[in-house]
Structures are given as structure tokens and as C-alpha cells.
Structure 1
């Protein structure tokens, strides 16, 4: 008796394309990890520079969410043949006299379904907050205060401030996964 040939697992799955509205490797990798962990399909995840049409350092929920939405929407316009489009935008906000950091995630599909989620927030030290209030982006402020280079494409403020316990990729990945809830639970969303 002959046994059937084993097929490559990727051959059994439908290959889907996800476009992330950023070339930032952290945003691309967290998206890839979230999609691969929640779906059984095989995903190719690519980044492209999509204009968020917001300030370089978004302030508040509305501007930050708008930046994430615009990144996903611009990606969809630029590459309509994809299966999903993802926008990720980091922002800050004032809470009393202190500043918090967070990010919004927006996921779109071809049926016009939209998934949204926000990361946890964390308070920034005054040294970073002061530079941001003076017009600097959080990533640039991280580099200056902590004597780093290109921290926003690495561990970011969350990774630096937690001594690597929470890295930026994992921090974003959880929120991207949460933004995928409507696509996993189509019958109730």
C-alpha cells in the first residue's frame, strides 16, 4: 500500500497579501506575526510608504487614529489587489501635566470591513515629554535622551523604558491581533 505524498503545509493554504502602510520593519514584522498567529492562511506581508496625512508626531486619539486609518486607506488605494491593508500610527497625548504614548492600528479588507485597536498607554518621562512639546517626534527624542540611533525602528520608547521586557514589536503585535477580531468573528461583526 502506498502512502499519499505529504504536501508542503504552505501548498495547502491559500496565500494572501497584506500591505502595511509603512516601511518600518517593526510595523511589518508585528503585522506578519499577528496575521500568522490568528489565521490559518499563509500571508506575504509587505510595507509601503503611505502618507498618514497627520502631524509628524500625532497628538491625541483622534489625530493618531486618523493617521492609522489614512495609512491603511492609502495602502488600499496604492495596492488594491491585496487582501488586507494595515495602518499603524504611534501618538502621544497629555493626561493632566504628564504625557502618555500609545498607537492605533487599523486593518481593512476588500469587503470594506474595518478592524481597529489601540495599544496600552504608558507615561513618558519629562525629559521626553519636554522635547516632544518643543516639536520633536518621540523616536527622535528617544535617540537624543537615551543616546540611541533610529530607536523607532527598533525597540522604541516602550522597549527602552522597560529595559527590553516589552519590545515595540510585541507591543504593537497584540494590538494588531485585537484589530483582527472582526475578521475572525465575521458572523457577529
Structure 2
């Protein structure tokens, strides 16, 4: 992890954001959203923490819980930060098929939190079948599309939109939405 040393935090001019993941896409999406939301410098780093849910969350509730757990576990691991961010991708199913999305959970040092969900998109049947068989979505994409480590690159959304929407932009928008309670402090107590 690329954090300032704990003993050097007094007088540190950048606010610290800790993302509960070492996935570079998640870290960069949080950095992009915080920079859009606020007019001051940030230092954004990721830390490996458990989500406390399945490797492939299969419901909206499990996905939300994974995002919240990641933010809170990052807070336990590095309590000196100003904000902690959890990003968890998941799938759920309805009458139209299996669809993918992610939940974002942000908490600040006062305990205030914000949350949001990305847009959803339906998975093609061959990918959906692999996921239903227990294959994590990123691995299913890699297997089906003959790619390697796609979840740390464009992800499903990038592959399926032929790169028109990458995973960083997809997550950044939802992180920005999760920051609304911090942007509009007077409206959210």
C-alpha cells in the first residue's frame, strides 16, 4: 500500500482516502470521483481487506453488504484516513435474466456514510450460465472472451460495450453519487 507513514500524518495537507481493495480500477475510480466532488488534494490508496461475502455476490443485498464491509474493514485497518470506500461488484437475477452492477459505500471519520449503485446491465446467456455454475464474473469473462485479468481492466462492462464504457468510468459515476451526502452536508444529517 502507498500510504503516508502514520508518524508523518500531523500537518499532512492531503486528505486520505482508503479504498478497501488493491484493484487499480477501484482505486482510480475513487480518486476520479473525489477529485470531481471536492476542490482540494487527496491521497488515494487501496488496502486488501475482506468483503465478508462470497467471491461472487449473487444478490443485491449481499453485494451492498460486501461494499459496506470493505469500507468498514478498511477503516479498521487504517483508522487515520479521512474517508473509506468500499466497492463491490455483484449480480442478481430477475425474470429478464442475470444482471451485473456494483454497490459503493463511503464513510468518513465522523461516521457519516453515503452509498450508491452503478447502472445495471444484463449478462449474455453463456456468461450468465458460467456465473450460475459458480464461476466468478471476472473469471467467466476471461474464460469466455479469452482474456486475462479483465476485472482489473475494463471488466464486463468494458468488454460488452467494446470499450465504450470502461470499468473505471462506470464505478466513478457511482462513487460520485455516493459522495452526495458529503457534498450536500446540510441536506444529509
TM-score of the aligned structures, taking structure 2 as reference length? 0.92
Residue in 2 aligned with 1:10?
none
Q: Rg larger in 1 or in 2?
A: 1
**What do residues 99-133 of structure 1 show as CA deviations (whole Å, max 9, x unaligned)?**
00000000000110000000000000011000001
Shift of 1:97: 5.2
Give the aligned length.
177
Preserved contact between residue 17 and residue 45 of structure 1 (Cα < 8 Å): yes
State the distance in 1 between where 2:31 and 2:14 align. 13
RMSD: 1.0
**What do residues 17-65 of structure 1 show as CA deviations (whole Å, max 9, x unaligned)?**
0000000000000000000111011000000001000001001110000
Residue in 2 aligned with 1:49?
48
Q: How does 1:159-178 map to 2 (within 5 A)?
A: 159-178=158-177
Shift of 1:173: 0.2
Residue in 1 aligned with 2:57?
58
Residue in 1 aligned with 2:185?
186
Residue in 1 aligned with 2:19?
20
State the distance in 1 between where 2:132 and 2:37 align. 38
Structure 2 unaligned spans of 5+? 1-11
Residue in 1 aligned with 2:117?
118
Residue in 2 aligned with 1:70?
69
After the TM superposition, which segments of 4 or more aligned residues of structure 1 sit over 2 Å from their partners? none
TM-score of the aligned structures, taking structure 1 as reference length? 0.92
State the distance in 2 between where 1:114 and 1:97 align. 32
Structure 1 unaligned spans of 5+? 1-12
Shift of 1:95: 1.2
